[in-house]
Structure 1
Amino acid sequence: MPSRPWRAAATALATVLLVGSVAACGNSDTGDAGNDGKIVLGFSQVGAESGWRTANTTSIKESAAAAGIELKFDDAQQKQENQIKAIRNFIQQKVDVIAFSPVVESGWDTVLKEAKDADIPVILTDRSVDSADKSLYKTFIGSDFVKEGRLAGEWLVEQKKGASGPVNIVELQGTTGSAPANDRKKGFAEATAANPNLKIIASQSGDFTRAGGKQVMEQFLKANPKIDVLFAHNDDMGLGALEAITAAGKVPGKDITIITIDAVKDGMQALADGKFNFIAECSPLLGPQLMDLAKKAHDGEQVAPRIETEETTFTQDQAKAALPNRKY
């Protein structure tokens, strides 16, 4: 009968279409790079708490575009639970590489184990974690925060080496439990221990924000009639503190010596103007290095477990010289 060949052809065609459909679904599930062949990088940012963080985000977005990497970007708004949720979403989306700047140091083992089980390499940027199992992430790229705190403390020791009486220091800490806050405090304390006249009389978190720096500095000034030095864990808190110091009728940079960390443009301008006295640099321009590491991690290449960024320090004259070409 003439209908049988037609039925056979229709069956064969349906089989071909079914096989093609299954194959296509299989390709999309690999999550390798999508149909356009791009590497897909899932990145969870701490938030937008400072000028440093804004510059860091810009560097990452621009570098991803330049490198031809598809970036899935998430803003955790300084909440660890948001970051963990974002990482799990990246795992479900089967991205090729995950990178994130941890809000705090602790509490990451479970979600990092999930990424490892999914065979997705993880890169830590700017901040590290305290996981004992180093195999949970591929590498950590960022600054040596202890060194930054130590450089700030060493400068102060040198400046105050002739002081005969006590030098009262107040400290604006970063986000409680974060790597930069913990490490910068440690480095500064280690360095200033060389001069027993240097005394930290108050230390509190300003959460790396200008508003936090201003609010806590106001409290410091009310509680402590004699403050000689302010050590702020980042420029933004120092800039907020400037407002409180000025409102209290004191001259920043003269009545109170101000030391900060980061060297963003606003901080460098304050240093050039004599309102800050010293800045230890912490570069936010990690984007190009991150994209290079993402490609290597995706290709299974070996990378160093710790990659330190190159940075320097600034005095007033050095800030004046650097400002015209400052990128952040």
Structure 2
Amino acid sequence: MRRLLATTTVMASIATLAACGGGGADGGSGGQVQLSLVAYSTPQAAYEKIIKAFQATPEGKNVTFTKSFGASGDQSRAVEAGLKADIVAFSLEPDMTRLVKKGLVAEDWSAGENKGMITDSVVVIATRKGNPKNLKTWDDLTKPGVEVITPNPFTSGGARWNVMAGYGAKSNKGADKQAGVDYLNALFANVPVQDDSARKSLQTFSSGKGDAILAYENEAIFAQQNNQPLDYTVPDSTILIENPVAVTKNSAHPNEAKAFLKFLYTTDAQKIFADNGYRPVVKGVQGVSFPAPPALFTIADLGGWPKVTTEFFDPKGSVMADVERKLGVSIEK
């Protein structure tokens, strides 16, 4: 059934892109070029504004866009399966690596100053307004009677960041693996529902389900900006989220796609990301300040994504496969 739904999602995305097309160079409309952006769900509002800002520049004045947003893993697999994309933006590096292995993204995509990362964030604990159950630490989330919302880590990149944040914090950055694994079992026993993307999990929480939600810091800020009644805490020990972006090798308009990619690293675009809750990856963005967790760690501290993906997220046998099977949760992609 999940394979059928995945195929349906890809075809629906292709149909959606075709429907919102028009104005492309192939259509003979005044020399306009149409680029396709395929991205994970959470930065949609930021990209909408950034695209408008890019179109106001000389490089972007004749460029139009089609856009597809969804769960990071699903988006990556859709492009792998044939969904047209000129620029791809994902939640985490393995979703980009999949396209490198497929020959759709250049092997040197991460060779630049920022290693191919376009935004940063951290995992936070968000709660109902006023935090009625006083949930501020990782241990608080495993207390009896506490419901925690987080997506399914076998579809959502955001969920994988959540998993590694909790694991890294409770295992002392992997020094005590068993403590980290025990924590994940206790945490997910308190998760009543696992949506397929971070944005859908936020919608579930906003509808009244759960006492806390593990989320990107930017998602919590986005919710507050949209008048959703929640508070959030940045744990003392949490993980630095790094989000990759790249131009595809088979882009029909590589010059324009590269121009847009370059624009994403300007202070103007980074300010828009910051206004939407993301931590900038370039210096010189004015009026931006984020709290610095005292025990911030990175995925590299836990062994890097290739090691982590095999050890924690292999559906054939891994830490999270075992956790989810005990709970009867699907691990099919």
Larger Rg: 1
**TM-score grouping bracket, smaller chain normalisation:** 0.3 to 0.5
Instruction: Tell me the TM-score normalized by structure 2.
Output: 0.41
Instruction: Tell me the TM-score normalized by structure 1.
Output: 0.42
Larger RCO, structure (CA 8 Å, separation 6 or more)? 2
